[in-house]
């Protein structure tokens, strides 16, 4: 798969960094230690080595945050590289320990399952990288470069269990006649043909009558219980090309099935340009079938003891009057919800923002009716700031804030500049009482509308997902469709880019220019989003995200400008 390095967002992403102060539940994380063995080349190249090593560390951190293990585990890897003109981008592996037939996890996989260190002081796994190819080590992955971070996440997942042991002739990890008991990886236990017949029996024997399925093309499936539950009752299609491909066949999700916006991190092949950097719910469920235990999670998704939810939103862009009024919308569902809302202007200067709005006015609206307002914040709100993890405000600042308990409905908060002033502002909406169930009082969608500029004046919305499990979201970047509501000067061709922030490092994980009506339109109808025409240049993403902090950036293709709208809908 492709690659990338710690991609710190540029200065215009400050709004997300500020929002990230929310305290999320502490989860036991998977961690990694790497030993780089190259000598004055590759990962230890005097010029490029430091950036390459940092890129691998960043990829491992991103993956760890997507795998909130119930028990903390540290894995060690020995890392080397080559410079060979072949099609292999990178590879990773881990040995196994066993001398009789059975299903054997790799040493790294076993360590995750029960803490057993199967090889003492030796590394748990190995990674080899091919620097012959053109790699981008940050979020800005060029069309002719491979995505380093995506590739590293993919390869590490192989080493920790997402791999099979079947060979083209039906043999396993041991030498011996086909039909004799053999050794396999746990992944092989869940492989079936199109009729649901297992390839490997509980007696550890390959069914030779299924040999043709190994190279049948989309003819082998993974049918673990968690996987079926996460995939609508359907098994996941496994890569089984003809001819057989050593190192790829029966160890990946199927390239021909999971394409376009449905492409998976564990697909066999990758192209240049940005790659997939987010584990899908079905891939997480496959890992659960392989024995992974996630904090407060079961059955490939959340439960009332483990569910994910939207908690906060912040938006950072230019605010003023008229079309430059900064509007953040949200909806409350399931019951009355207590919220903190803030309109930050002058205090942004303390974080290095220039041109901040000097004196913001914050208004809370239900429909067209302004139901609450604040000009300068009240010191009585300081305790609420601290409780939700919001950064403190100077006692005499002209920033604005208000608290309210709101019934289920749709609302907006609007920021304008007093006396006709304009400047960069940050509206924030904090959930002050986190949901206790997936159907109780909660934020169900959030949005932000403003003038979209270029550079520091693109529209940036940050949000936080709390809880455990994953949250399905529909994210839209609306420009042309706003004209149907009488909005003038709309953004002609919007582009959405989604980032995840981990330890103050933000990494691009998805992007869209023109939306695909096929998968998106039914979800939009389900969540009650207004319809947009199938041929419009509006943008949309369907994503499944783990708890964490995220940013959506709305910009104009070819530096276009105009009024734009970001929407984030709970699609579960």
The contacts of residue 154 (CB under 8 Å, 6+ apart) are 1, 265, 266, 270
Going by pLDDT thresholds of 50, 70 and 90, the confidence category of residue 295 is: low
- How confident is residue 2, by pLDDT bands cut at 50, 70 and 90? very low
Least confident of 239-243, 345-349, 502-506, 522-526: 502-506
What local confidence, expressed as pLDDT, does residue 15 receive?
31
Q: List the strands of the sheet with 73-82, edge to edge.
A: 30-36, 73-82, 125-130, 90-93
Cα separation, 512 vs 555, in Å, equals 11
Give the tens place of pLDDT for each residue, 382-397.
Answer: 878 877 778 889 988 9
Farthest CA pair distance, the chain: 85
Nearest residue to 277 via CA among 90, 27, 511: 511
Phi-psi bin for 456: left (phi > 0), alpha (psi -120 to 50), beta?
A: alpha
Q: In whole angstroms, give the CA distance from residue 255 to residue 250.
A: 12
Q: Which residue has the tokens 């017949």?
A: 197
Q: Is the pLDDT of residue 209 over 70?
A: yes
What secondary structure does DSSP assign to 49-96, as a single string? HHHHHHHHHHHHHHHHHT--BSS-EEEEEEEEEE--SSS--EEEE---
In the prediction, which pLDDT does 304 show?
39
First to last CA, the chain: 29
Percent over 90 (pLDDT), the chain: 50
Average pLDDT over the chain, rounded to an integer: 85
Mean pLDDT of 309-328: 65
What share of the chain in percent tops pLDDT 70? 88
Can you list the domains of the chain with their CATH numbers?
30-289 (no CATH), 308-570 (2.60.120.380)
Q: What is the pLDDT of residues 212-253, one digit of tens each?
A: 999 999 999 999 999 998 888 899 999 999 999 998 999 999
Q: Is the pLDDT of residue 70 over 70?
A: yes
User: Predicted confidence band at 297 (pLDDT cuts at 50, 70, 90)?
Assistant: very low
Instruction: Give the number of other Cβ atoms within 10 Å of residue 91's Cβ.
Output: 14
- Give bridge partners of residue 341 from the DSSP assignment: 402, 429
Q: Assess whether pLDDT exceeds 70 at residue 9.
A: no
> Does position 25 have pLDDT exceeding 50, yes or no?
no
pLDDT band for position 126 (50/70/90)?
Answer: very high
Q: What is the mean pLDDT of residues 61-66?
A: 84
More confident residue, 27 or 231: 231
Q: Which of 526, 278, 309, 527 is nearest to 438 (CA)?
A: 309
Average pLDDT over residues 284-290: 93
What is the predicted pLDDT for the residue at 449?
78
What pLDDT score was predicted for residue 91? 95
């Amino acid at each position: 798969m492709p690659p990338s390095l710690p991609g710190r967002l540029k200065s215009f992403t400050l709004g997300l960094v500020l929002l990230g102060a929310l305290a999320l539940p502490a989860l036991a994380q998977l961690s990694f230690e790497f030993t780089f063995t190259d000598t004055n080349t590759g990962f230890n190249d005097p010029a490029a080595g430091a950036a390459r090593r940092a890129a691998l560390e960043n990829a491992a951190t991103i993956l760890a945050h997507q795998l909130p293990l119930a028990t903390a585990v540290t894995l060690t890897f020995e890392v080397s590289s080559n410079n060979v003109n072949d099609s292999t981008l990178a590879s990773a592996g881990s040995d196994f320990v066993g001398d009789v037939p059975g299903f054997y996890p790799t040493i790294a996989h076993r360590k995750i399952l029960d803490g057993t260190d199967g090889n003492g002081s030796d590394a748990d796994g190995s990674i080899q990288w091919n620097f012959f190819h053109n790699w981008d080590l940050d979020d800005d992955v060029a069309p002719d470069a491979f995505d380093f971070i995506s590739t590293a996440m993919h390869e590490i997942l192989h080493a920790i269990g997402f791999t099979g042991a079947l060979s083209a002739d039906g043999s396993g990890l041991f030498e011996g006649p086909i039909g004799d008991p053999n050794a396999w990886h746990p992944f092989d236990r869940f492989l079936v043909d199109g009729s649901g017949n297992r390839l490997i029996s509980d007696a550890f024997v390959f069914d030779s009558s299924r040999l043709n399925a190994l190279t049948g093309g989309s003819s082998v499936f993974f049918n673990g219980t968690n996987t079926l539950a996460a995939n609508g009752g359907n098994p996941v299609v496994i890569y089984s090309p003809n001819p057989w491909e050593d190192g790829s066949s029966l160890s990946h999700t199927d390239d021909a099935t999971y394409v376009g916006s449905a492409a998976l991190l564990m697909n066999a092949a990758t192209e240049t340009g940005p790659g997939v950097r987010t584990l899908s719910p079905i891939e997480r469920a496959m890992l659960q079938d392989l024995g992974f235990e996630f904090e407060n999670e079961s059955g490939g998704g959340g439960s009332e003891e483990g569910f994910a939810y939207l908690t906060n939103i912040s938006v950072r862009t230019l605010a003023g009057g008229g079309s430059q009024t900064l509007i953040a919308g949200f909806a409350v569902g399931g019951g009355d919800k207590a919220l903190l809302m803030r309109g930050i202007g002058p205090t942004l200067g303390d974080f290095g923002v220039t041109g901040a709005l000097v004196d913001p006015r914050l208004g809370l609206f239900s429909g067209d009716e302004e139901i609450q307002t604040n000009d300068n914040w009240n010191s009585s709100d300081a305790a609420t700031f601290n409780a939700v993890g919001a950064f403190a405000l100077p006692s005499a600042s002209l920033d604005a804030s208000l608290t309210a308990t709101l019934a289920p409905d749709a609302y907006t908060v609007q920021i304008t500049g007093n006396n006709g002033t304009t400047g960069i502002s940050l509206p924030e909406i904090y959930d002050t009482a986190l949901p206790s169930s997936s159907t109780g009082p909660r934020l169900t969608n959030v949005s932000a509308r403003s003038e979209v500029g270029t550079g520091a004046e693109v529209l940036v919305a940050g949000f936080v997902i709390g809880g455990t499990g994953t949250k399905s979201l529909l994210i839209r970047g609306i420009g042309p469709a706003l004209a149907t509501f009488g909005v003038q000067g709309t953004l002609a061709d919007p582009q959405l880019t989604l980032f995840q922030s981990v330890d103050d490092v933000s990494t691009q994980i998805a992007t869209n220019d023109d939306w695909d009506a096929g998968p998106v339109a039914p979800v939009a109808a389900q969540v009650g989003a207004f319809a947009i025409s199938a041929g419009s240049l509006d943008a949309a993403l369907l994503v499944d995200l783990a708890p964490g902090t995220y940013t959506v950036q709305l910009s104009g293709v070819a530096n276009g400008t105009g009024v734009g709208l970001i929407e984030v809908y709970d699609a579960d």
